[in-house]
Amino acid sequence: MIMMHKRIIAALAMTWLLAACAPANQVDYDPLESVNREIFAFNQVLDGYIFEPLARGYRYIVPEIGRAAVGNVLRTLVEPVNFVNATLQADPAGALTAFSRFVVNASLGVGGLYDFAGNHFDIQYQPEDFGQTLAVWGVESGAYIVIPILGPSNLRDGFGRIADTFTDPLNVVGIFGSSDTIDTLSIIRSGVSALAAREKLLDPIDVINETSLDPYATFRSAYGQQREALVENRNTDNLF
């Protein structure tokens, strides 16, 4: 437990240090570009052989209404994380949105399958993660990084992803009573999330690959713009 705390503190300190080294203009700050490009190229190959075909298969087999239901369940499962982060950002409206959506969609939405809150009460999904919370607290994004398999991120958001695992309902339940069932559900949820996310990105990524003269730079810029929009709570479907 103490080792875990030391690791978290070290990661936090590193994040702040690297963020502090970033120039005032954060956009496209990429001191690790040569390494990132190698990882990006690796991810492109992996995507071409595995993730893209799986996503196309998913789109072909499951009709839009089914995919929407899967997406709704995944979003409902993330609402507790949204609630915690909106609270940490001192955003009572955002916290209420996440809480309301969770309660309404879990019940009236039949376990989250239908977005009752969005379609009938116009309470729209508002993603909040710890990376955004750190941004609201004044932490700069730091260096752009490309994570193997997972794709674009930055130091702040990468740390945020780790922190969010502590508020994820399945992980919280797992802390109090780990079981094979919880572990299996967690793996299934991760797999389905990745598949659903990749399917949503099929068309935009096709466009980028066909039209961009430097897909690496395009993804980097698009990621930065989307994250900025999320921090400012501008509505976005969060391509990343």
Partner 1 sequence: MFFIRTIFIFLALATVVVAPAHSSPAKVEKYVGGLVQDTIDVIESPRTDEQKLELLASSFRNTMDIPWVGRFVLGKHWRAASDAQKQAYIKYYDGFLTNIYSARFTEYTGQQVDITDTKSIGSGEYQTKVTLSSENIAPLAIQYKLRTNGSSFKVFDIIVEEVSLITTQRAEFSSIVERKGLNRLIQLLKKKAEQPVVIKR
Nearer to partner 1, 83 or 116 (CB): 116
CA pair distance 147, 90, nearest whole angstrom: 30
Is residue 236 near partner 1 by the rule CB under 8 A? yes
Nearer to partner 1, 178 or 235 (CB): 235
Is residue 222 near partner 1 by the rule CB under 8 A? yes
CA pair distance 87, 90, nearest whole angstrom: 5
Among 27, 108, 149, 162, indicate the residue that binds partner 1 (CB under 8 A): 27
Across the chain, which distance is largest between two alpha carbons, in Å? 51
CB of 14 to partner 1, least distance (A): 26
- Looking only at residues 135 through 164 of this chain, which bind partner 1 when binding is defined by CB under 8 A? none
Among 87, 165, 171, 218, indicate the residue that binds partner 1 (CB under 8 A): 218
Is residue 65 near partner 1 by the rule CB under 8 A? yes
CB 19 within 8 A of CB 140: yes
CA neighbor of 129 nearest in space, from 173, 167, 99, 102: 167
Nearer to partner 1, 168 or 228 (CB): 228
Is residue 90 near partner 1 by the rule CB under 8 A? no
Q: How many of the chain's residues bind partner 1 (CB under 8 A)?
A: 26
CB of 98 to partner 1, least distance (A): 20
Give 122's DSSP letter.
-
CA pair distance 230, 238, nearest whole angstrom: 8
Between the alpha carbon of residue 62 and those of residues 53, 54, 55, 84, 195, the distances in Å are 14, 12, 10, 32, 12
CB 203 within 8 A of CB 209: no
CB of 63 to partner 1, least distance (A): 8
CB of 130 to partner 1, least distance (A): 20
CB of 216 to partner 1, least distance (A): 8
CB 16 within 8 A of CB 138: no
CB of 85 to partner 1, least distance (A): 19
CB 183 within 8 A of CB 174: yes
Q: What residues contact 121, with CB distance under 8 A and at least 6 apart?
A: 100, 104
Is residue 111 near partner 1 by the rule CB under 8 A? no
- Looking only at residues 188 through 217 of this chain, which bind partner 1 when binding is defined by CB under 8 A? 204, 207, 211-214, 216-217
Give 239's DSSP letter.
-
Is residue 221 near partner 1 by the rule CB under 8 A? yes
What's the burial of 105, exposed, middle or buried (CB within 10 Å: 0-12/13-18/19+)? buried
Q: By CB under 8 A, name the binding residues for partner 1.
A: 27-28, 63-65, 68, 204, 207, 211-214, 216-218, 220-222, 225-226, 228-229, 234, 236-237, 239
